């Protein structure tokens, strides 16, 4: 290696540090910029009407997206109910039963790979199976597509969180003569903060997902009264309204963006808080 | 877990074990079902166009002729733009967070970076279309067009939307994932290695470049691949700003299509079986591409146990 002068090395270090500072400043600034735009443009259309009324035709003014808010809540809840039990069970299998055998590493590999599958592919897959089999777009199909995205996230965090529970706890419950499933209840209780965090993170991750819903739940201008029919939801409404030429619809899209962003960020912050208090308590013990 | 414990074998334990194993098997079943399901629906297009589907640039729903080349091209070009920006930015950002910033600054900036990862794709799309694209068309693209007019990438009308804007937004979206994995590498490099370098008088940047990035080279490459896989499959943000055109052009200012944006855009209007089948085959191509990239990423990351790939 060619020896370089002290001055040149110092200059390189200073330049790299300056660029790193710039990258951090620019990154943070862009995040705040995006947030500021969403809040500034979205806040003006958010009022009681937004959360209580059905959409108005373009040009009429007024109206709200109450049906889409409700639909998003319903679809996300259904997805959570579908994804959490198998996700947590898969995590239980990996953390408690599997060890490091071949099947276990295959499942871990599968979890990682599922996590990397683009969300639009999940939507296409659910269209090709659920939508075609049931004969139409529906809230159920939308929920299945979101559940498929949540499943690996829940499984992964469940495994990690269950592994954090010390073996001594398992052993003391079992030493009292309890069967393993009874011990699991105690372990779940010990890992509850982490498990809740995993679920919240998974919900946050799908809360704003749009692409899979285009293929499954579609959208609707009506109240979500029948889960086997196309169902209104905020993300697809944002997409449709933003792409429309109408100013008032575009404004509504910004309002919906604000609702989604605030919801997703709140979930992320709450989950971080839950994890934090969980680990702090553990550290104090 | 000892053997005696397994032998306790009450009905409850057997049930729990069976349910857990079934859930674990479900994961593998789903991964396989994705390929089979998309393959099944691609059958019509596969039999009609064969492998030529991959390099035919014709996409003509009216004539019923479909080829993936324009979508694959758009995917590769927007992803390349994203990586050109995100690779140096993520390394610098991780360097800043791990080595330069005092904890009082690194903590909030680290939070901000992680919050970035939580912002949904469609929000980036809204911002890209209504905020960034006008700025690109009024300021950035005219400037690039004049300053680098000899390059074919920066020619054409400054419309604001197109492959350059899509690539830039993609780079923002993958930055947090890449940064967090690379940042982990700084923490996983043995202290003794770093301190030995510092002890010899190396500067912070030299320690980063010659010790951390070299020691963790594989994991850092894994982080890049993780970002690449994400960028390829990103849909909504790209669909908003890429312009949705099946023309293949050298200029980054021109509108184009990625595989994901074609799917999002045209699925609703695809009525005949062949059109739907061609879209399913596009999806299959994307699945194979992202699966391969993620496979590489895992290979590189697993040795270090780094990078949970989004489930932070």
DSSP A132-200: HHHTS--HHHHHHHHHHHHHHHHHHHHHHHHHHS-HHHHHHHHHTT--HHHHHHHHHHHTHHHHHHHHH
Residue B159 confidence (pLDDT): 85
Using alpha carbons, select from A211, A126, A125 the residue that is nearest to residue B265: A211
Number of domains in chain B: 1
- Measured CA to CA, the distance from residue B99 to residue B103 in angstroms comes to 10
- Of residues A93, A179, A238, nearest to B12 (C-beta): A179
- Measured CA to CA, the distance from residue B217 to residue A54 in angstroms comes to 54
Q: Nearest chain A residue to B229 by CA: give it.
A: A116
In this prediction, residue B4 has a pLDDT band, given cuts at 50, 70 and 90, of low
Percent of chain B with pLDDT over 90: 73
Chain A residues with beta carbon closer than 8 angstroms to that of B12: 179-182
pTM over 0.95: no
- Measured CA to CA, the distance from residue B137 to residue B74 in angstroms comes to 20
- Measured CA to CA, the distance from residue A263 to residue A35 in angstroms comes to 13
Confirm if B291 and B223 have CB atoms less than 8 A apart: no
- Measured CA to CA, the distance from residue A132 to residue B38 in angstroms comes to 13
Mutate to test the interface with A, among B116, B117, B126 (most CBs of A within 10 A): B126
Element (H, E) at B65: strand B65-66
From chain A residues 92-121, the ones with a CB under 8 A of any chain B CB are 92-94, 96-99, 103-104, 106-107, 109-121
Chain B residues with beta carbon closer than 8 angstroms to that of A120: 233, 235, 260, 263-264, 283, 286
Shortest distance, CA A185 to any CA of chain B (angstroms): 11
Residue B90 belongs to what domain range? 69-302
Within a domain: residue B27? no
How many inter-chain contacts (A to B, CB under 8 Å) are there? 283
> Cα dist. B147→B140, B251, B254 in Å?
10, 15, 18
Phi and psi torsions of B60, nearest 5°:
-130, 90
Using alpha carbons, select from A103, A82, A95 the residue that is nearest to residue A145: A82
- Measured CA to CA, the distance from residue A55 to residue B50 in angstroms comes to 46
Residue B10 confidence (pLDDT): 77
Phi and psi torsions of B216, nearest 5°:
-100, 25
Exposure b/e, A116-144, CB count within 10 A at least 16 = b: bbbbbbbbbbbbbbbbeeeeebbbbbbbb
Q: Nearest chain B residue to A185 by CA: give it.
A: B16
Within a domain: residue B16? no
Shortest distance, CA B92 to any CA of chain A (angstroms): 5
Phi and psi torsions of A162, nearest 5°:
-65, -30
**How is residue A205 written in tokens?**
């991750």
Within a domain: residue B138? yes
Residue B9 confidence (pLDDT): 58
**Cα end-to-end distance, chain A, whole Å:** 52
Residue B7 confidence (pLDDT): 53
As a three-state string, the secondary structure of A96-132 is HHCCCCHHHHHHHHHHHHHHHCCHHHHHHHHHHHHHH
Within a domain: residue B76? yes
What torsion, rounded to 10 degrees, do the Cα atoms A110, B177, B107, A158 define?
-10
Using alpha carbons, select from A77, A103, A45 the residue that is nearest to residue A241: A45
Task: Name which residue leads in pLDDT, B260 or B14.
Answer: B260
- ipTM of the assembly? 0.92
Residues contacting A72, CB < 8 A, separation 6+? A207, A233, A234, A235, A260
Confirm if A215 and A131 have CB atoms less than 8 A apart: yes
Question: Measured on CA atoms in the order B9, B14, B20, B22, is the torsion positive or negative?
Answer: positive
Task: Look up residue A215 and give its DSSP letter.
Answer: T
Find the CATH number of the domain harbouring B146.
1.10.3720.10
Task: Look up residue A27 and give its DSSP letter.
Answer: H
B81-130 pLDDT, tens per residue?
A: 999 999 999 999 999 999 999 999 999 999 888 888 899 999 999 999 99
Residues contacting B239, CB < 8 A, separation 6+? A239, B125, B260, B261, B264, B265
> Cα dist. B168→A251, B55, B263 in Å?
25, 26, 21
In this prediction, residue B8 has a pLDDT band, given cuts at 50, 70 and 90, of low
- Measured CA to CA, the distance from residue B42 to residue B63 in angstroms comes to 18
> Cα dist. B181→A88, B10, B15, B42, B119 in Å?
25, 43, 38, 36, 18
The pLDDT mean for chain B works out to 90
* Local structure of B243: helix, strand or coil: strand
Which residues, in sequence order, are bridge partners of residue A260? Answer: none
Q: Nearest chain A residue to B37 by CA: give it.
A: A125
Using alpha carbons, select from A276, A11, A250 the residue that is nearest to residue B125: A250
- Beta-carbon count within 10 A of A59 CB: 9
Question: Measured on CA atoms in the order B1, B4, B9, B12, is the torsion positive or negative?
Answer: negative
> Cα dist. B72→A169, B246, B261, B262 in Å?
53, 10, 11, 10
Confirm if B91 and B180 have CB atoms less than 8 A apart: no
Within a domain: residue B23? no
In this prediction, residue B304 has a pLDDT band, given cuts at 50, 70 and 90, of low
**Fold of domain A62-284:** MetI-like fold (1.10.3720)
Residue B102 burial by Cβ neighbours in a 10 Å radius (0-12, 13-18, 19+): exposed
Within a domain: residue B41? no
**Helix locations, B50-152, DSSP H:** 69-95, 103-118, 121-127, 133-135, 141-147
Which string of DSSP letters, residue by residue, matches B29-45? Answer: HHHHHHHHHHHHHHHHH
Q: What is the mean pLDDT of residues B158-171?
A: 94
Chain A residues with beta carbon closer than 8 angstroms to that of B287: 117-118, 121
Within a domain: residue B123? yes
Local confidence pLDDT in tens for the 285 residues of chain A: 566 788 999 999 999 999 999 999 999 999 999 999 999 999 999 999 999 999 998 888 788 999 999 999 999 999 999 999 999 999 999 999 887 789 999 999 999 999 999 999 999 999 999 999 999 999 999 999 999 999 999 999 999 999 999 999 989 998 998 888 888 999 999 999 999 989 999 999 999 999 999 999 999 999 999 999 999 999 999 999 999 999 999 999 999 999 999 999 999 888 877 766 655 444 443
Mutate to test the interface with B, among A125, A182, A272, A276 (most CBs of B within 10 A): A125
| Residue A262 touches partner B, C-beta closer than 8 Å | no
Confirm if A154 and A87 have CB atoms less than 8 A apart: yes
Within a domain: residue B296? yes
């Amino acid at each position: 290696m060619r020896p370089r002068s002290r001055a040149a090395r110092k200059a390189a270090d200073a330049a790299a540090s300056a660029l790193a500072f710039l990258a951090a400043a620019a990154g943070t600034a862009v995040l705040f910029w995006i947030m500021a735009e969403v809040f500034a443009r979205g806040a003006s259309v958010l009022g009681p009407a937004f959360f209580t009324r059905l959409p108005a035709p373009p040009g009429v003014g007024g109206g709200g997206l109450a049906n889409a808010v409700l639909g998003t809540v319903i679809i996300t809840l259904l997805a959570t109910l579908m994804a959490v039990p198998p996700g947590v069970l898969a995590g239980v299998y990996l953390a408690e039963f599997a060890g490091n055998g071949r099947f276990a590493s295959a499942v871990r590999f599968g979890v990682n790979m599922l996590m990397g599958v683009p969300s639009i592919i999940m939507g296409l897959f659910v269209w090709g199976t659920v939508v075609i089999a049931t004969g139409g777009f529906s809230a159920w199909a939308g929920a299945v597509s979101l559940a498929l995205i949540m499943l690996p996230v829940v499984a992964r965090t469940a495994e990690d969180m269950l592994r954090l529970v010390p073996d001594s706890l398992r052993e003391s419950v079992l030493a009292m003569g309890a069967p393993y499933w009874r011990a699991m209840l105690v372990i779940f209780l010990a890992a509850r903060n982490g498990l809740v965090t995993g679920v919240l993170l998974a919900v946050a991750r799908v809360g704003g997902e749009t692409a899979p819903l285009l293929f499954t739940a579609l959208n609707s201008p009506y109240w979500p009264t029948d889960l086997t029919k196309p169902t209104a939801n905020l993300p697809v409404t944002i997409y449709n309204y933003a792409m429309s030429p109408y100013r008032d619809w575009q404004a509504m899209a910004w309002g919906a963006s604000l609702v989604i962003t605030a919801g997703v960020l709140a979930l992320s912050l709450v989950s971080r808080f839950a994890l934090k208090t969980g680990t702090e308590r553990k550290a104090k013990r | 877990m000892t053997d005696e414990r397994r032998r306790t074998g009450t009905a409850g334990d057997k049930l729990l074990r069976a349910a857990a194993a079934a859930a674990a098997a479900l994961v593998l079943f789903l991964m396989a079902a994705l390929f089979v399901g998309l393959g099944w629906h691609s059958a019509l297009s596969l039999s009609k166009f064969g492998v030529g589907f991959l390099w035919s640039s014709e996409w003509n729903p009216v004539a019923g002729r479909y080829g993936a080349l324009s979508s694959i091209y758009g995917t590769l070009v927007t992803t390349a733009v994203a990586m050109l920006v995100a690779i140096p930015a993520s390394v610098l950002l991780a360097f800043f967070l791990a080595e330069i910033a005092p904890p009082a600054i690194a903590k909030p900036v680290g939070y901000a970076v992680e919050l970035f990862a939580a912002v949904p794709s469609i929000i980036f799309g809204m911002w890209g279309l209504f905020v960034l694209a006008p700025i690109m068309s009024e300021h950035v693209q005219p400037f690039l067009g004049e300053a680098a007019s000899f390059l074919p990438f920066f020619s054409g009308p400054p419309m604001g939307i197109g492959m350059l804007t899509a690539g830039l937004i993609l780079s923002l979206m993958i930055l947090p994932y890449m940064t967090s994995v690379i940042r982990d590498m700084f923490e996983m490099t043995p202290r003794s290695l770093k301190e030995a370098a510092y002890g010899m008088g190396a500067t912070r940047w030299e320690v980063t470049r010659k010790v951390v990035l070299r020691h963790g080279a594989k994991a850092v490459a894994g982080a890049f691949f993780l970002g690449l896989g994400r960028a390829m499959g990103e849909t909504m943000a790209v669909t908003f700003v890429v312009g949705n055109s099946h023309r293949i052009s050298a200029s980054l200012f021109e509108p184009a299509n990625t595989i994901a944006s074609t799917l999002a855009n045209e699925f609703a209007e695809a009525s005949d079986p062949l059109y739907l089948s061609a879209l399913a085959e596009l999806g299959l191509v994307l699945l194979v591409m992202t699966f391969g990239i993620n496979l590489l990423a895992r290979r590189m990351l697993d040795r270090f146990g780094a990078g949970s790939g989004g489930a932070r």
